Amino acid sequence: MSDLDIYTDGACKGNPGPGGWGALLRTGTHEKELWGGERDTTNNRMELTAVIRALEALKRPVSARIYTDSKYVQQGISEWIHGWKRNGWRTASKAPVKNADLWQQLDKLAGQHQLQWIWVRGHTGHPENERADALANRGIEELKPSKEQKP
């Protein structure tokens, strides 16, 4: 087991709209930056994707602290997911869980590690959260224009 800090963020220009995700992984003095984007998505999907991609990058089980500015991610994985699984991926009001595909991926990946989920207030100068946000925005910026957008 290793000691690892993971900082994640998602961003969206419009909701839905073009979105990006970013993750900063740090252990000791070693860092790894990850980012990507999707043309038509939501902010919540990008927040979840950031954590999923960070966990997919791990080569072995770890003990990690995951920092997110998304209460949706932090509360979803720490609290709500237990009821959703018990209810067949339905909410307490019997509606299908939004983003169930991503929640199921995250649940499977999280089960391979010892994770502590930490919420941080976004856009308040937290250096690593600001870096994750910049990576998420980089994911949006690097989306290639679609054929319809070319002159």
Catalytic residue annotation: 9-10, 47, 69, 123, 133
Locate 141 and state its tokens: 């910026």
Q: For 32, phi and psi rounded to 5 degrees?
A: -140, 135
The Cα–Cα gap between 56 and 62 comes to 12
DSSP 86-147: HTTSB-TTSPBPTTHHHHHHHHHHHTTSEEEEEE--TTS--HHHHHHHHHHHHHHHTSPPPG
Contacts of 11 (CB under 8 A, 6+ apart): 19, 20, 21, 22, 43, 46, 133, 136, 137, 139, 140
